[in-house]
């Protein structure tokens, strides 16, 4: 969910467009002496942008077309020197015609070596002496000579009416600074930026293309930005649409797939609302190894001052299972990266879909209906997603069946024996209901307890399951209606009558169990060490 970066990309570049527009039309309205021209461009930018501006050489040519070339442009918003400059341009080139300038239109601007630094806090403390001394709400005095004030005011007024036909900025760089100084800045390279019909006090259309860093992929965005809010840049309006293609999810250890996304956004730089959808036809969790189609729709609220993103809601579908989630992606103080925290719910899902996603077997271990609620957390860090994923929730499986014929046959036989129906012909094919509480941490799934319900019997187990190894380590109890002697026939039934009192408690048979082995080869057995410890067993539940 790296939506914050896309909005700062467009916001920072569009602010640059405002600056260049001011330079272009100011150059066209003042005397042609280089130093006078340079001073008045600086003055106009400082007045319009509430910024401290530096500009090196500025050259003007009038024939055969108007051409202005500037070098070393630096803009520091509110004069801040505690962070790198907001805008820096190596070379800017402006082209216009005399007739176009007469009609208040500049034809073309090119920016080379453009670097935009997005500061970590829009309300950072002033460090410039003049700004610190100025009363709140009043502009900071500049060093421009007083005798030029009238011309400067006239030029600034003219700026509002001029339109810049086209702007391009190849291979610009966007650098996002972090509030935590221990966290490295993030740099983005924009392949193209193109804007048309730009004005200082109007909403401006834009188009931009860049390579997203995390996860890698191509982003195209277009929309409108502005007008720029000088006193509070965070309140500058922005809206548009975006597409995100060929994002490689294998960047995140433990998952893979090629994601595409599209959507629309609107609001201000401080608070953007985003509605989008994604499509990953080959989403894969490495521990499962099976690609499945994954689609999502989401509504997000982005706080661009800190990058925190609230997701409310996210609606996803993979195979035949719907998932709903609410939560967000948040910065962690003193730690590189962000934490994902979500409340997740599955209603009327399919167990086999989840099994296919998370279990590395040719066929799902079980089938059946699935309801699930859980808290989900993915801490920051480079570890495999499966290893760092944390879950804490509850689940219910309705009418579950094992796909392994041997296991399902044992379940069918258990139900027949537990119901004291050994004298009846045939073995019924039964389904199983599961409920339980689970926790996942460090790649191990803990079930405390899980209840397995079939006609005539109920199994209650506690233990752990290794997602990668498939190892099973559970113990618990089997509760039955039938007595031990009723689970067999013939002489075995007569012999086991002696054991009936050992396993009976409150009218139910209680057999201590242990489950070991692996998911592909589970081993069930009686835990003989607990046979004579009936007092440790829980109260027998009501059996179906």
* pLDDT at residue 457, rounded to an integer: 86
Q: Where are the domains of the chain?
A: 3-235
Q: What is the pLDDT of residue 319?
A: 93
> What's the pLDDT score for residue 344?
95
Percent of the chain having pLDDT more than 90?
19
Q: How confident is the model at residue 183 (pLDDT cuts 50, 70, 90)?
A: low
pLDDT in tens, 273-330: 999 999 999 999 888 889 999 999 999 988 765 668 899 899 999 999 999 999 998 8
Helix (H) or strand (E) holding 40: helix 34-49
Judged against a pLDDT cut of 80, whether residue 511 lies above it is answered with yes
The top-scoring range by mean pLDDT among 4-8, 102-106, 119-123, 408-412 is 408-412
Whether the CB-CB separation of 326 and 376 falls below 8 Å is answered with no
Q: Which DSSP category does 518 fall into?
A: B
Q: Are 417 and 482 in contact (CB under 8 A)?
A: yes
Helix (H, G, I), strand (E, B) or coil at 355: helix
Residue 33: predicted pLDDT: 58
**Pair of tokens at residue 370:** 């699935």
Give the list of residues 6+ apart from residue 400 with CB closer than 8 angstroms, or none: 351, 366, 367, 368, 369, 431, 432, 433, 434
> What does pLDDT average to over the chain?
78
Note the pLDDT tens digit of each residue in 233-266: 668 888 999 999 888 888 888 889 999 999 999 9
368 vs 270: which has the higher pLDDT: 368
* Residue found by looking up tokens 């015609």 in the block: 97
407 pLDDT band, cuts 50/70/90, is confident
- pLDDT at residue number 224: 86
Residue 400 CA: distances (Å) to CA of 351, 385, 404: 8, 28, 12
Residue 116 has pLDDT above 50, yes or no: yes
Task: Encode 370-400 in three state secondary structure.
Answer: EEEEEEEEECCCCCCHHHHCEEEEEEEEEEE
- What average pLDDT does the segment 209-231 reach? 80
Mean pLDDT, rounded, for 361-369: 87
CB 205 within 8 A of CB 196: yes
Give the pLDDT confidence score for residue 21 in this predicted structure: 58
pTM above 0.75, yes or no: no
Low-confidence winner among 7-11, 54-58, 442-446 (lowest mean pLDDT): 7-11
Q: Quick one: pLDDT at residue 321? A: 95
């Amino acid at each position: 969910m790296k939506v914050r970066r896309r909005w700062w990309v467009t916001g920072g570049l569009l602010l640059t467009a405002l600056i260049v527009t001011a330079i272009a039309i100011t150059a066209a309205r003042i005397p042609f002496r280089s130093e006078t021209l340079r001073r008045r461009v600086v003055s106009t930018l400082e007045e319009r942008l509430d910024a401290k501006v530096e500009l090196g050489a500025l050259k003007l040519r009038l024939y055969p077309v108007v051409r202005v070339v500037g070098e070393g442009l630096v803009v520091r918003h509110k004069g801040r020197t505690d962070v790198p400059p907001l805008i820096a341009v190596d070379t800017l080139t402006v082209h216009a015609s005399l007739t176009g300038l007469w009609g208040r239109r500049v034809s073309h601007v090119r920016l080379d070596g453009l670097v935009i630094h997005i500061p970590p806090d829009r309300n950072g403390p002033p460090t410039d002496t003049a700004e610190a001394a100025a009363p709140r709400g009043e502009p900071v005095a500049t060093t421009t000579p007083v005798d030029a004030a009238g011309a400067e005011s006239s030029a600034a007024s003219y700026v509002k009416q001029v339109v810049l036909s086209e702007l391009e900025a190849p291979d610009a760089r966007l650098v996002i600074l972090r509030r935590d100084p221990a966290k490295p800045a993030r740099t983005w390279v924009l392949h193209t930026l193109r804007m048309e019909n730009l004005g200082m006090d109007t909403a401006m259309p834009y188009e931009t293309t860049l390579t997203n860093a995390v996860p890698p992929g191509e982003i195209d965005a277009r929309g409108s930005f502005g007008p720029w809010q000088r006193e509070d840049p965070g309140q500058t309006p922005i809206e548009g649409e975006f597409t995100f293609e060929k994002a490689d999810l294998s960047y995140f250890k433990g998952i893979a797939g090629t994601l595409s996304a599209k959507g629309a956004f609107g609001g201000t730089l401080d608070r953007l609302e985003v509605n989008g959808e994604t499509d990953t036809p080959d989403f894969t969790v490495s521990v499962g190894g099976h690609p499945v189609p994954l689609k999502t729709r989401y509504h997000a609220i982005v706080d661009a001052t800190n990058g925190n993103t609230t997701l409310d809601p996210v609606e996803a579908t993979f195979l035949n299972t719907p998932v709903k989630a609410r939560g967000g992606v948040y910065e962690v103080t003193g730690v590189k990266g962000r934490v994902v925290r979500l409340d997740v719910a599955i209603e009327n899902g399919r167990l086999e879909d989840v099994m296919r996603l998370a279990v590395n077997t040719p066929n799902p271990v079980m089938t059946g209906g699935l309801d699930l609620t859980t808290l989900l957390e993915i801490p920051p860090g480079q570890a495999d997603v499966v290893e760092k994923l944390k879950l804490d929730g509850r689940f219910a499986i309705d009418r579950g069946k094992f796909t392994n014929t041997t296991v399902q046959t044992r379940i069918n036989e258990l139900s027949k024996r537990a119901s004291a129906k050994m004298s009846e012909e045939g073995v019924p094919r039964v389904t199983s209901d599961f409920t339980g509480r689970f926790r996942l941490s460090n790649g191990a799934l803990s079930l405390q307890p899980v209840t397995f319900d079939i006609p005539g019997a109920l199994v209650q187990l506690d233990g752990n399951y290794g997602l990668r190894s498939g190892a099973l380590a559970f113990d618990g109890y089997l509760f039955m209606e039938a007595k031990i002697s009723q689970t067999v026939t013939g002489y075995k039934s007569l012999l086991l009558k002696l054991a009936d009192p050992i396993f009976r408690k409150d009218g139910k048979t209680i057999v201590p169990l242990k489950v070991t082995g692996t998911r592909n080869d589970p081993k069930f057995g009686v835990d003989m060490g607990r046979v004579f410890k009936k007092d440790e067993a829980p109260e027998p539940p009501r059996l179906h």
